[in-house]
Amino acid sequence: MTDLVTWLHIQLDGGREPDAVTAAHRAILEMHRDDGLGWCTSCGDMTLDDHDRAPVETPCDTLRALASAYADRPGYHPGWAL
Ligand SMILES: [Zn+2]
């Protein structure tokens, strides 16, 4: 788990967002997990034959964009910005 992911979980655990927003953001976090090797489980360009993906490092741009929604909160790292 990356620092960004840990920080996002803390933001979502705070109960400051409507339940539907929290649920949607948790779903995004679940879809964009680290595969254990440092690559996103969801992102990556598909090739024409759809068998090979270009791996994308975590935290991916999707998670960086998600974190930007909470950028005004303590602990947000400017290096996470897109
Ligand atoms: Zn991703």
DSSP notation for 49-75: TSS-B---BSSPHHHHHHHHTTTTSTT
Distance 55 CA to ligand 1 centre (A): 10
What's the pLDDT at 54? 81
Q: pLDDT band for position 40 (50/70/90)?
A: very high
**45-72, pLDDT tens digit by residue?**
766 665 667 889 999 999 999 999 999 9
Rounded-to-integer distance, Cα 24 and Cα 71, Å: 18
Does the pLDDT at position 2 exceed 80? no
How many A from CA of 13 to the centre of ligand 1?
21
What are the sequence ranges of the domains in the chain? 3-46+54-77
C-alpha–C-alpha distance, residues 65 and 71, integer Å? 10
Residues 4 and 59: beta-carbon distance below 8 Å: yes
Q: CA nearest 30: which of 75, 56, 62, 52?
A: 62
Position with higher pLDDT, 6 vs 50: 6
Kindly give the distance from the C-alpha atom of residue 48 to the centroid of ligand 1, in angstroms, as a whole number. 20
